[in-house]
Structure formats: C-alpha cells, structure tokens
Amino acid sequence: MIYLDNAATTPMLADAVGVYQKYACQSFYNPSAGYREAQDIAKQIKEAKERLLVKLGATCGDIIYTSGATESNNLAIMGSRRNGKWEYVFSVGEHPSVYNVAKELEMQGFKVHFVGLSSTGEINYEMLASVVNEKTRLVSVMHISNETGAVNDIQRIVGVIKDKARNALIHVDGVQAFCKVPICLNAFDVDFYTISAHKFHGPKGVGALYVKNQKLLKNIVFGGGQENGLRSGTENVAGIMAMDYVANQIDILSNYNKVQALKACMVKILSENKNVNIFESKSPYILSVGFKGVNGETLMRALQDQGVIVGMGSACSAKKSGNRILESIGFSKEDVKQRIRISFNSFLSEQEVAQAGKTILKVYNEIWEKVK
C-alpha cells in the first residue's frame, strides 16, 4: 500500500510509541497533584513547552496544550470574542474547524467578513485590506492550505492588518506548516498559532495553541483551571510528551528537500498525460490534481484497489458536495469534482512515488477509455 494522504494524517513515528508508553504506564501521574512524582511531570511539560516555543521561533508567549487543531482553533477564535460591535475576518480557504466557528459567530450576530482566494490559492491580499478596519477584533488565516498546498504570506498579511487595525488580533492555523517549513513567530508577530501532532507523525488527539498574550484570551471550557485556566482538563501527558519527542526528531530542511523531489517526481509523471491538470502550489507536501472527464471519487476508489491511497481534499469535508475553497480559486463545479489530493511524507521513497504516479495514470486511462 502506498499512502499518499498525509495531509489528512500521518503514521506515528514508531520511536514515539516508547515515549508514549513511558508517560502512560510508568510516569503516569496527574501533573496537578502535589507529590514529587506528579510535580516532576508538571516540570517536564513546562520544559516541553519551552522546546516548542523554540521550535516555533518565539521568544515570548506561551503554549496551551489542547486535544488538537480543532480545539486550538476554537479556543483562539471563541476565546478572543468580546461583547460589542466587533467584526471578524476569515479567508474562505479555512478548514471547517475555523470556517464553521466563523459561521457560528455570524449566527451569534457578529459581523463576519469572508475574504476570497486569488488564483494562486493564497488569500486575496487586496480584498483583505479592504475589509479590515478599527472594529476588527480578530483575523484568522491559515498558513498553508490543506486542500491545495498554497502558502499564505503571513508577514504580508500581518502588515496589511496592522496598517488598518493596530489592535486586531491575528490567528494562524499552522497545521500544514509546523514541522514542514521553518517557522519564526517572532518575525510573523501573530497572536495565536495552531498546531496538531498527528500531521507531523505524532499521536492523534493532541495539539497546541501558541498564545502571545494570555490576558487577551478567555477560556471556553470550565473546570479545574489547568493550562493557566485557559484549558481545563487533565493534560494528555503521554500525547504531549510524544508530540514533543517527534517535533524534536524532525529535520525540517532535509525533509523539505526530500519531499520537494518526491512532488517533482509525481508532477513529472502525471504531466505526461495532457488531460491531467496540476495545480501549482508552493508547499512540496500537497498536490491538487484534476483528471479530465473522471470523477475524483471514482478515481480514488479505483486506486485503493490498486494499492494507492489518495485524498479528496479535507477529509473532514470530503463528504460535502462542492468545495468552497477550490471554487473560490476559480475552478468550476465540474473541475472540482475531477480533483484528488496527493500529499506526501518524508518517509516515502522516490520509487514508491514513481510507482504510485504510474498506477494513477494507468487507472485514470482505464476509466477514461470507458467514459469518454
């Protein structure tokens, strides 16, 4: 089986299982308890946060551990909501864990602006500039698109926002970027940044939210007051420590170069067929491809029988018809139906990718011959 849906999730690093097991079975104490063993765990979590801040390139701010990106995104947006005539700004390219929070804010009566995408898949920077104003409370824009691999220019976005709304908070969903591209939050100067462990070979159900100034955030769940009151609930210690381990194993630049070669190999093979429509995007990890005349879902199902697993865009929204993200870029409804998403990880070999590419073309041609 050649697995090419790494934007949906990645296999956990086998070495991290030992770390997980250590904190689940031996060092299993509740970090909120008062005895020495438990306090030692609390100290280790604190040290893991410091390592994560370094990895994020942040010399100030804090980390709040969560159950994953969906929770981090909800916390950043809902936790910075305030009463009054505030406005919120989102790109239409956001993952449902941001987009549906935006829809909820709209339902609650807040003014919410949705900014479209340009033909590169990035947010439309001019449109962003036209909606941000002094009443803007928060802007939420993803770093790298999970659908297309388009990379938003975060520094440019922050510049546009600060120009018009000095006090607006800025949240970035960095799920498809963290541990894949170098990140320097000091340079980005954003207020919140979301990460999720299972997208970079960590366990599922654990993630984090970087928070520049905790005073600007309110808790959205109520309980025992863990994580400085911002995320009550006993910490997922084993998940946190396994995520910490994995993040510190990853060599971002070496993986980036390797994956770039894998994507180039796939693009070269698929481009041999003129019916194949490659969407050029900057992230080497994600490739959106269209196949003339053939439904993407049909192709995906046929491919799984041939040992190749590909995605259909965001797994969380794969069942919904249409795709607001691809349509905003300019794809017709017909084009959208014909697309699949191929996403890589650094453990794949070039031979595997080449074999998968050839299989994709073969399977596509077989279906095309029947339907054309």
Q: Which residues inside 31-70 make contact with ligand PMP, applying CB under 6 A?
A: 68-70
Q: Which is nearer to ligand PMP, 42 or 252 (CB)?
A: 252
Residue of the chain from 6, 74, 196, 288 that contacts ligand PMP (CB under 6 A):
196
For ligand PMP, which stretch binds (CB under 6 A), given 26-34, 101-109, 172-180, 265-273?
A: 172-180
Per CB under 6 A, the list member of 12, 41, 138, 142 interacting with ligand PMP is 142
Reference 115, options 133, 96, 132, 137; nearest CA is 132
Only segment of 85-93, 131-139, 309-317, 331-339 that touches ligand PMP (CB under 6 A): 309-317
Stretch that binds ligand PMP, among 110-118, 120-128, 310-318, 346-354 (CB under 6 A): 310-318
Q: How far is the CB of 198 from ligand PMP (least distance, A)?
A: 6
175 contributes a contact to ligand PMP by CB under 6 A: yes
Query: Is 170:190 a contact under the CB 8 Å cutoff?
Result: yes
> Which of 109-112's residues contact partners 24+ apart within 8 Å by CB, and which partners?
110/81, 110/86, 111/85, 111/86, 111/87, 111/135, 112/87, 112/88
Shortest CB 326 distance to ligand PMP, Å: 15
> At a CB cut-off of 8 Å and minimum separation 6, what does 117 contact?
91, 92, 93, 123, 124, 150, 325, 328, 329
Q: Return all residues near 230 (Cβ < 8 A) that are at least 6 apart.
A: 64, 75, 79, 211, 214, 217, 218, 219
Report 276-295 residues binding ligand PMP (CB under 6 A).
none
Q: Which of 176, 255, 323, 328 binds ligand PMP (CB under 6 A)?
A: 176
Give least dist CB 315 to ligand PMP, A. 6
In the complex, which residue's CB is closest to ligand PMP? 68
d(CA 242, CA 13): 9
Q: What token pair was written down for 180?
A: 């894949």
How far is the C-alpha of 210 from the C-alpha of 52, rounded, in Å?
Answer: 9
316 tagged catalytic: yes
For residue 264, how far is the Cα from the chain centroid?
22
* Rounded distance between C-alpha atoms, residue 356 and residue 234, angstroms: 43
Between 68 and 121, whose beta carbon lies closer to ligand PMP?
A: 68
In the complex, minimum distance from the CB of residue 95 to ligand PMP, in angstroms, rounded to a whole number: 4
Among the listed residues 49, 55, 81, 95, the single contact to ligand PMP using CB under 6 A: 95
Kindly state the tokens that stand for 20. 């997980």
Give the count of beta carbons closer than 10 Å to the beta carbon of residue 158. Answer: 20
* Total number of residues that touch ligand PMP (CB under 6 A): 15
- Would you count residue 314 as binding ligand PMP (CB under 6 A)? yes
Question: 270 near 292, Cβ under 8 Å?
Answer: no
The residue range among 245-253, 258-266, 271-279, 308-316 that interacts with ligand PMP, by the rule CB under 6 A, is: 308-316
Q: CB–CB of 301/360 below 8 Å? A: no
Question: Which of residues 24 and 316 has its CB atom nearest to ligand PMP in the complex?
Answer: 316
The Cα 114–Cα 88 span in angstroms is 9
Considering only 124, 146, 152, 345, the residue that binds ligand PMP (CB under 6 A) is: 146
Q: How far is CA 40 from the centre of its chain?
A: 32
Q: Determine, following the binding rule CB under 6 A, whether residue 92 of this chain makes contact with ligand PMP.
A: no
107 Cβ contact list (under 8 Å, min separation 6):
none
Please give the residue ranges that form the binding site for ligand PMP (CB under 6 A). Answer: 68-70, 95, 97, 142, 146, 173, 175-176, 196, 207, 314-316
Q: Which residues are part of the catalytic machinery?
A: 316
